Structure 1
Amino acid sequence: MNLITATGLIAADQLDMELVERKGAGHPDTLADGVAEAISRAYSAYCLQHFGAILHHNTDKTALLGGAAEVTFGHGHLTDPIVALVNGRLTPALGTHAIPVEQIIATATTDFLTGALPMLNADTDLVIRSRMSQASSPGAVAGPTADQRAGRRFWFAPRSLDDLPELARMFANDTSAGVGYAPFGVAERLALEIESSLTSPEFTSTHPWFGTDVKLMIVRTGARLHLTACVPQIAAHTPDLDTYIAHRTQAKEVVTDLAAGLAPGHRVRVSVNTRDDDKRRELYLTAIGSSIESGDEGVVGRGNRANGLISMLRPMSMEGVSGKNSVYHVGKLYNLAAQKVAMRLHEETGRTYAVALVSQSGRDLEDPWQVLVQASGEEWLDPALTRKTVTTVMNDLDDIRSALLAGELPTA
């Protein structure tokens, strides 16, 4: 690796301003990320169980098309279903062993969406359309080498595990970059903690009238925090307008209390559901707790970055992490690894770090082409410690893979 270091980064909580968004668990973009990742995990688990290796796949172009819903106080139902467009590539077989790709897609999609949206009736309110191809990426040139082992021709049609080149040498599938930084700033911590609290099973079980399509936008200037929250209500638990207004007031109080506890010493101003027009009965009232029920769409990579945030004044990669193969896709692994490097360096030194890992297509996966590390302050940045930390994380990519396959490491 070529290691480039710099100082002068402003410490997270010394930034003059922050602008942070977080899309909640039930937001259409977050749901699309979740579906893509759930399918990748399920497909990977099948491959490991039957073949001992994960075959080539990616579902990171998945999208959700919103349905249509009719809501009134006390009742809501979908009038048109949500459509899951599962786009990507999944290897359909290893030799003569056919893989039940469509079944894996259907089961993973249904299980994830009904888990994320408990009021969704999968039998009537969900349509799944998979559009899988098996074409390899560019690189296969017709000629006398077309039948070679581990060649491009057999990328998605392997005759045996010998046709998986990564089993002989793990290499980067793309020229790309992953970024990470640590620690989080005040607004970033607020966005993560407040959304997680409002969409947690504990909160929704005691507040069943709130849906999970929560969205937060936070602006911090100095010690002032301006927070706008969109919090849906579920029609079946909201019998009239007065109840809706009371629930909205309750949501504002909950968010205000959480913010005050998480950001002591800051002046907090909270707004909730600013588009509501009570007189016109134009409200964030839903059947299942998410705007996916009524015309909104969700697409992988349009929502939270791999660290769970959309932090507009911090470094970020536009890679859609969810649904990529966890074996060698740098768009996934390098973003997660860069975050891990930044966190370890921060824990070691107490300084703020921004880290970028840059790959070269075909280069050894564990050996990034370029590594850019910037730290807060002006003190000398120890290149030996930095290189050792990067090397340790890159040599332990299996830890990241294991956490991803176990569903323990969020990708959005």
Structure 2
Amino acid sequence: MRNIVIEELKASEVYHQKVEVVERKGLGHPDYICDAIMEQISVNLSQKYLETFGTILHHNIDKGMLVAGQVEGKFRGGRVVSPMRLIIGDRATFEYEGVEIDVSGLAVETAKAWFSENLRFVDPENLIYQVELKRGSAELTDIFSRGGKVLGANDTSAAVGYAPLSPTERLVLETERYLNSKRFKKECPESGEDIKVMGLRNKEDIHLTVAAPLVDRFVESEEDYFRQKIELHDRIEEFAAGFAEKERAELEACICAKPTASLNTLDMPGRGMEGIYTTVTGTSAEDADCGEVGRGNRVNGIIPLNRPVSSEAAAGKNPVSHIGKIYNLLSHRIAAEIYNQVSDVSEVYVWLLSEIGTPIDQPQIATAQLIMKKGAAGDVQKEAAEIIEKELENIHSFSMELVAGKRPIC
């Protein structure tokens, strides 16, 4: 029998609290880049192991760092002076049953492909790639040789997920996705990918602080920069207002009529290139900010400061035994299933705790905390427990979704 505990949580939903703070690091942010690339390496390596050996082998590509380079920004287009350096690290299986896998080559090619597909002005060939992947320890590697459809956990760790996203969380998430969408980039090619959105809700008033560089090849002068900045700011506020109107119509949620936004607040007119936020490549990793795995968004795409979160970096961990990835994503899935299937539940938190060596479908404890709607009288504990039981029974199928890269993690 699995150790499943369900309890009612006597608390206010996040969207009813007076203050809410939410952050989203976008596509071109150095931390996002590290998470996305290390995760894609894990996905591609898992597929290679399956194709070659018919099974997933030990690996954790979850130690990565993007070291900033140096550029010379200039109106109408600057240049890269010193390239960025991507460090790819931790553990992998290089040989199995006498057959070798070119793990380092796969990692570098995956990184180059990601840059090519996601950052328009980064030349994948103009980076330094430093692969620091080593062989795993004997005991952790042996987990993969012990047999069984469901492997043992390779760590003792806890994860927490929740549902649903609040209107503020959705607004922050969707604002960045809108600004980095292919359609928006086609309409506004001057908008760089390194976009960060910080949302503050104070009672019913929501303000977004957005950082979004302009690519200098599209900027003629300081005057032209501020003209384009006004246009970009207006589009952000237009999108936010439309989103808020839709939220109120669909959910009757606590969200203001017209969110406000500020853009690139460090700017100072009259200081030339030193007083404006431009970029040569679209990312601040070109010369301003390094990136690291685990410092970016949580697995649901945001950094929700009002919520409990796990400190685990999910990106790049193997998808069949490392609960630092599996439980982080599964806890959010279970919470969503409970929220969607159990009546009168207003908000759900799900906690999962593993024990190293124990099968991943047998957590030390799986618990759901339910915030019920006002006036709810039904006993929903059995329904919630059945959902948790079902999801844990199907954890192998869930892991295979992670293997296939079907569950975004940043």
TM-score normalized with structure 1 length: 0.91
Q: Match of 1:192, SS?
A: helix
Q: Match of 1:323, SS?
A: coil
Corresponding residue for residue 312 of structure 2:
319
Corresponding residue for residue 130 of structure 1:
131
* Structure 2 CA distance for aligned equivalents of residues 131 and 104 of structure 1: 13
**1:105-147: CA deviations, max 9, x gaps?**
1101111122221211122x201001112141xxx6xxxxxxx
Q: How many residues align?
A: 391
* Structure 2 CA distance for aligned equivalents of residues 169 and 257 of structure 1: 49
Corresponding residue for residue 204 of structure 2:
223
* Structure 2 CA distance for aligned equivalents of residues 85 and 319 of structure 1: 19
* Structure 2 CA distance for aligned equivalents of residues 404 and 239 of structure 1: 45
Confirm whether residue 107 of structure 1 aligns to residue 105 of structure 2.
Answer: no
The one-letter code sitting in structure 2 at the alignment partner of 1:289 is G
* Structure 2 CA distance for aligned equivalents of residues 311 and 168 of structure 1: 35
Q: 1:371 aligns with which of 353, 357, 366?
A: 366
Corresponding residue for residue 269 of structure 1:
260
The one-letter code sitting in structure 1 at the alignment partner of 2:202 is T
Q: Please state how far the C-alpha of 1:38 moved relative to its aligned partner.
A: 1.1
Q: 2:88 aligns with which of 70, 86, 89?
A: 86
Confirm whether residue 44 of structure 1 aligns to residue 35 of structure 2.
Answer: no
Q: Please state how far the C-alpha of 1:186 moved relative to its aligned partner.
A: 1.6
Task: Determine if contact 2:144/2:151 at 8 Å carries over to the other structure.
Answer: no
Task: Determine if contact 1:172/1:360 at 8 Å carries over to the other structure.
Answer: yes
* Structure 2 CA distance for aligned equivalents of residues 169 and 44 of structure 1: 16
Q: Match of 1:371, SS?
A: strand
**1:123-177: CA deviations, max 9, x gaps?**
2x201001112141xxx6xxxxxxxxxxx2xx55x8xxx9622546521111111
The one-letter code sitting in structure 1 at the alignment partner of 2:384 is T
Task: Determine if contact 2:152/2:357 at 8 Å carries over to the other structure.
Answer: yes
The one-letter code sitting in structure 2 at the alignment partner of 1:103 is G
Q: 2:230 aligns with which of 231, 235, 249?
A: 249
* Structure 2 CA distance for aligned equivalents of residues 63 and 167 of structure 1: 35
* Structure 2 CA distance for aligned equivalents of residues 83 and 166 of structure 1: 39
Corresponding residue for residue 278 of structure 1:
269
Q: Please state how far the C-alpha of 1:3 moved relative to its aligned partner.
A: 2.6
Task: Determine if contact 1:9/1:353 at 8 Å carries over to the other structure.
Answer: no
Confirm whether residue 234 of structure 1 aligns to residue 215 of structure 2.
Answer: yes
Corresponding residue for residue 248 of structure 2:
none
Task: Determine if contact 1:233/1:289 at 8 Å carries over to the other structure.
Answer: yes
* Structure 1 CA distance for aligned equivalents of residues 182 and 279 of structure 2: 18
Q: Please state how far the C-alpha of 1:207 moved relative to its aligned partner.
A: 1.0
Corresponding residue for residue 161 of structure 2:
180
Q: 2:29 aligns with which of 22, 27, 30?
A: 27
Q: Match of 2:386, SS?
A: helix
Corresponding residue for residue 17 of structure 1:
19
Q: 1:214 aligns with which of 178, 195, 199?
A: 195
Q: Please state how far the C-alpha of 1:233 moved relative to its aligned partner.
A: 0.8
Q: Match of 2:406, SS?
A: coil
**1:18-47: CA deviations, max 9, x gaps?**
100000011000000011011111111111
Q: Match of 1:60, SS?
A: strand
Q: Please state how far the C-alpha of 1:406 moved relative to its aligned partner.
A: 3.1
Q: Please state how far the C-alpha of 1:188 moved relative to its aligned partner.
A: 0.2
Confirm whether residue 356 of structure 1 aligns to residue 351 of structure 2.
Answer: yes
Which piece of structure 1 moves more, 21-30 or 344-353? 344-353
**1:410/1:381 Cα in 2 relative to 1: closer, same or farther (>3 Å)?**
farther
Q: 1:403 aligns with which of 394, 401, 404?
A: 401
* Structure 1 CA distance for aligned equivalents of residues 149 and 108 of structure 2: 33
Which piece of structure 1 moves more, 347-356 or 61-70? 347-356
* Structure 2 CA distance for aligned equivalents of residues 84 and 167 of structure 1: 36
Corresponding residue for residue 151 of structure 2:
170
Task: Determine if contact 1:9/1:374 at 8 Å carries over to the other structure.
Answer: no
* Structure 2 CA distance for aligned equivalents of residues 278 and 324 of structure 1: 45
Which piece of structure 1 moves more, 350-359 or 46-55? 350-359
* Structure 1 CA distance for aligned equivalents of residues 334 and 149 of structure 2: 27
Q: Match of 2:52, SS?
A: helix
Task: Determine if contact 1:231/1:273 at 8 Å carries over to the other structure.
Answer: yes
**1:337-394: CA deviations, max 9, x gaps?**
1101111111122421111111111122112111221111375652221111111112
1:43-62 aligned at under 5 Å gives the runs 43-62=45-64
The one-letter code sitting in structure 1 at the alignment partner of 2:348 is Y
* Structure 1 CA distance for aligned equivalents of residues 163 and 25 of structure 2: 20
Cα-Cα RMSD: 1.8
Q: Please state how far the C-alpha of 1:13 moved relative to its aligned partner.
A: 2.6
The one-letter code sitting in structure 2 at the alignment partner of 1:354 is Y
Q: What are the ranges of 5 or more consecutive residues in structure 1 without an aligned counterpart?
A: 141-151
Corresponding residue for residue 282 of structure 2:
289
Task: Determine if contact 1:62/1:87 at 8 Å carries over to the other structure.
Answer: yes
Q: Please state how far the C-alpha of 1:315 moved relative to its aligned partner.
A: 1.2
Q: Match of 2:56, SS?
A: coil
**1:359/1:163 Cα in 2 relative to 1: closer, same or farther (>3 Å)?**
closer
- Runs of 4+ aligned structure 1 residues displaced above 4 Å come to 378-381
Q: 1:386 aligns with which of 384, 387, 403?
A: 384
TM-score normalized with structure 2 length: 0.91
